[in-house]
Structure 1
């Protein structure tokens, strides 16, 4: 049994989450009607105090760039620590089917 340092484990989880969000970003750009449920999730979480104001505003600012797909993807997939932490509590739940999610994750195994 190998023990990985916490930082390495966190980095690996962040890499998986990033790959999932790459697929999410592409799907949402291709199917903009999915944004309705994303906005609803954001508002619900904030209303129910499951999200801090700073996170709410960051998600809002990302969603506001949707009309510029490259900027939207760039912000959603940013590699800074704040955005990586934000993706860990994504508002894009239900965008990918379980099969799509598994397909993305299986592509990471080499």
Structure 2
């Protein structure tokens, strides 16, 4: 059995994370009250210096697009490397239940 190259493994992980974030986006848009939880996580991480200002601004921009569902999803699910890295340190923890996550994967 051959080990997959690191780049391929990273790509596979990114795709799973993107799939989870697609489900998160759908849930957030159908339950807008959950955005408050994400905003609290964002502010807490930034205030506790767990996040750089650039990442804070990117997350803030994504959240502010929530009134435009297509734009919100496009920003959250963008294929660029910066957004993929941002999703790896998501502020949307706790939005999906463990059962919801397991069903996706």
TM-score per shorter chain, which class?
over 0.9
In 1: Cα distance, 2:7 partner to 2:35 partner? 33
Q: How does 1:1-110 map to 2 (within 5 A)?
A: 1-105=1-105
In 1: Cα distance, 2:86 partner to 2:34 partner? 19
- TM-score, structure 2 length as denominator? 0.98
Which of the two has greater helix per residue? Answer: 2
Shift in Å, 1:4: 1.1
1:79-105, Cα deviation, whole Å (9 max, x unpaired): 111000000000000000000001111
In 2: Cα distance, 1:55 partner to 1:86 partner? 7
Which consecutive aligned stretches of 4+ in structure 1 deviate over 3 angstroms post-superposition? none
Gaps of 5+ in 2: none
Aligned residue for 1:66, secondary structure, equals helix
- TM-score, structure 1 length as denominator? 0.94
What is the aligned length? 105
Shift in Å, 1:2: 2.8
In 1: Cα distance, 2:8 partner to 2:76 partner? 22
